[in-house]
Amino acid sequence: MSIAKDHGKEVTAEFLANRHQLMAFIVGLLRDPQVADDIFQEVWLKLAAAMEKGVVIEHQAKWCRKAAKLLILQHWRDQRTARVFADSTLVEFLDFVDLAYDENESLHSLRPERQRALNECVRALPEKSKRLLALKYDQRRSLSDIAAHVQQSTDAVIKALLRLRHALSVCVEKRLKLQELGL
């Protein structure tokens, strides 16, 4: 059996293993099982097309949620009679939902070198950012509780956590690349 066929089987198996979480994500946002099923199938087609083109997808579940999010936003835009519109707040909410899924997955899948890089990146953060992360991840406080504790709105806390998550992701990837290069 060729490497491409083996890879295709692995991608398919992973997609099927994560199908329930992906479908829950889609249905939870759309509230329409038929449209959700269509979006789910479109995500599979996009994944298969990417695989055919040789695109390397490191975190398939995250890639699929992002594809689903974009398809859902397009669906909402296409619905001229829909009362829902895709504004920046809604997009930020979808990013926050995606962040929650990422947190759940990353708790079980951090490789030691990635964990070390993350620890180094967190140590380099300003104290205010470290405190926010500690409230969310160490103390596992709710967003509204964190907002009250830091005397900010819940939206401001969500945005700050999203920015921190992105900054940490970029920092970790840079550190891993430097490690690969032996620097």
pLDDT in tens, 119-156: 889 899 999 999 998 888 788 888 888 889 999 988 88
Other CB atoms closer than 10 Å to residue 133's CB: what's the count? 17
> What is the pLDDT at residue 1?
43
pLDDT beyond 90 at 67: yes
Measure Cα distances from 161 to 19, 92, 132, 140 in Å.
27, 11, 8, 13
Asked if domains 1-83 and 110-183 share a fold, the reply is no
CATH 2.70.98 is the classification of domain 1-83: no
* Mean pLDDT of the region 159-174: 85
Do 22 and 40 contact (CB within 8 A), yes or no?
Answer: yes
Q: What CATH class has 110-183?
A: mainly alpha
pLDDT beyond 60 at 105: no
pTM: 0.49
Higher pLDDT, 30 or 81: 30
Ramachandran angles phi, psi of 85, nearest 5°: -130, 150
Q: Where are the domains of the chain?
A: 1-83, 110-183
